[in-house]
Amino acid sequence: MRTSKSKVWLVEFSTGETLTRRACATTLKGAWGLAKVWLDTTSPNLDYRKTLAEAQQKPVLLWCTKRWRSEEEALWNPEGQSCTISLVPLVHTV
């Protein structure tokens, strides 16, 4: 992947306590869309605007509100699914 950006968005998908997938995107909109596809949901706990406001300062946890009632249930249930979106620095190598 070639980009002139100094930071990229990291998307990590977890099932229960196990990290199952990891990907990066150059825009938050791409990372948010990828998280929605991986979670197979149309109703994440945060909409795009709230995710945009919060993700600039700290990693954001997304989960499907139709399947899981709380953050704890999405994180610690063996069948629970969640995605973490965080902004990470990009190290350019030659």
What's the pLDDT at 22?
Answer: 94
The number of domains in the chain is 1
| pLDDT digits 0-9 by tens, 2-43 | 666 788 999 999 888 888 999 999 899 999 999 999 888 888
Token pair of 74 as six digits? 């999405």
Q: Is 53 part of a structural domain of the chain?
A: yes
Q: 30 in a domain, yes or no?
A: yes
94 part of a folded domain: no
Parent domain of 60: 7-89
Contacts 24+ apart (CB under 8 A), 37-41: 38/11, 38/13, 38/81, 38/83, 39/13, 39/63, 39/64, 39/81, 39/82, 39/83, 40/64, 41/65, 41/66, 41/67
Higher pLDDT: 78 or 85? It is 85
Is 16 within the bounds of a domain?
yes
Q: What is the pTM of this model?
A: 0.82
Domain assignment of residue 71, yes or no: yes
